[in-house]
C-alpha cells in the first residue's frame, strides 16, 4: 500500500510520532501500548559495546506482537496487540488496492543513519504464524427505518432525508455502516413490502400517491448497485 498520506489516514493517537519532544501528550498513546523493553541478555553478550539498556517507550522492539491489518469495504485498519494505530480510507486512491499478493517489509522512517557498527546484524524483523482470511460477513440489514414492521414508502422518505449524511437505522442506514447512501437504498428495494402479516382487516385500495412513490423509489434503484461487502483480514506474529 505504501506510505499513506495524511489526507487518507487517521492516526488513533492524533500523530504518527512517539517522540516525547512533541510536548502535547499524544505520544502517551504509543508509550502505553509499547512500554520500554530491555535488550535480551544474549544480544548484549554478542555485542556488548552497543547492545545494552532498553528501548525507548513507544517503540516495538525486542518483543513479539500480534499485528492485524483488516479491510472492510474501503476502510483499512492497522492494529497491534489489540491497539488501533491507524485507519486508512482507500476510496480516493489513484491506484487500485486489489490483488492476491501479500508483501511484508521492514523500513526505517528516520532520516538519519545509525552509526552502530552492528546495525546490519541487529536491525531485523521476524514474522511468524501468518493467517490470511477473507470473510463473507454479511452485516444485519434492515430497511424498516421507522420500526413499524414493514418496509414501505415512509421508510424511503427517511432514507431520502438522510442521504449523504452519517446516521443510524432511524436516519436511513440499513447496512449498519453508520452512513446513509446508495447501499441502503438497494436494501430498501430488496426488502420493500409488508412485514409479519397482520390479522385480516377490511381491504383498502392503495392511494395513487402511494403507487407513485413506490414507482419513483424503484426507478431510482435501477441506477444503483450494491456490491457484496467482504472483510479481508491478515494477522501475523511479529518480533523485532
Q: Are 18 and 24 in contact (CB under 8 A)?
A: no
Question: Per residue of the chain (240 residues), what is the pLDDT tens digit?
Answer: 444 456 778 888 877 765 644 545 656 888 888 899 999 999 999 999 999 999 888 888 888 999 999 888 788 899 999 899 899 888 877 776 666 677 787 777 667 777 888 888 888 888 898 888 877 655 579 999 999 999 999 999 999 999 998 888 999 999 888 889 999 999 999 999 876 433 333 434 444 333 333 333 333 333 333 333 444 455 555 555
Three-state DSSP state, 11: strand
In order of 55, 105, 107, 240, the CA distances from 124 in angstroms are 15, 10, 9, 6
Same domain, 19 and 120: yes
DSSP per position, 88-139: EE-TT-SS----S----------SS----TTHHHH---EEEEEEEEEE----
Residue 137 forms part of a structural domain: no
Same domain, 43 and 118: yes
| Domain ranges, residue 93 | 9-124
Same domain, 102 and 175: no
Same domain, 21 and 59: yes
Residue 228 forms part of a structural domain: no
Same domain, 162 and 89: no
Query: What total of structural domains would you count in the chain?
Result: 2
Q: Are 229 and 72 in contact (CB under 8 A)?
A: yes
Residue 53 forms part of a structural domain: yes
Dihedral angle over CA of 154, 160, 166, 167, nearest 10? 0
Amino acid at each position: 500500500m505504501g506510505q499513506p498520506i495524511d489526507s487518507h489516514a487517521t492516526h488513533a493517537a492524533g500523530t504518527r510520532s512517539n517522540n516525547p519532544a512533541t510536548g502535547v501528550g499524544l505520544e502517551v498513546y504509543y508509550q502505553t501500548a509499547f512500554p520500554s523493553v530491555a535488550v535480551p541478555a544474549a544480544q548484549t553478550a554478542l555485542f556488548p559495546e552497543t547492545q545494552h539498556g532498553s528501548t525507548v517507550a513507544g517503540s516495538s522492539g525486542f518483543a513479539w506482537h500480534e499485528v492485524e491489518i483488516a479491510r472492510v469495504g474501503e476502510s483499512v485498519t492497522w492494529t497491534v496487540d489489540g491497539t488501533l494505530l491507524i485507519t486508512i480510507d482507500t476510496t480516493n486512491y489513484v491506484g487500485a488496492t486489489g490483488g492476491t499478493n501479500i508483501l511484508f517489509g521492514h523500513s526505517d522512517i528516520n532520516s538519519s543513519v545509525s552509526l552502530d557498527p552492528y546495525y546490519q546484524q541487529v536491525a531485523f524483523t521476524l514474522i511468524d504464524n501468518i493467517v490470511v482470511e477473507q470473510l463473507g460477513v454479511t452485516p444485519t440489514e434492515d430497511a424498516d427505518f421507522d420500526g413499524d414492521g414493514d418496509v414501505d414508502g415512509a421508510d424511503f422518505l427517511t432514507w431520502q432525508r438522510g442521504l449523504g449524511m452519517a446516521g443510524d437505522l432511524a436516519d436511513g442506514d440499513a447496512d449498519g455502516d453508520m452512513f446513509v447512501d446508495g447501499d441502503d437504498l438497494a436494501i430498501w428495494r430488496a426488502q420493500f413490502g409488508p412485514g409479519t402479516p397482520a390479522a385480516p382487516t377490511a381491504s383498502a385500495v392503495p392511494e395513487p400517491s402511494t403507487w407513485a412513490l413506490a414507482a419513483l423509489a424503484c426507478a431510482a434503484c435501477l441506477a444503483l448497485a450494491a456490491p457484496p461487502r467482504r472483510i479481508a483480514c491478515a494477522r501475523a506474529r511479529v518480533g523485532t
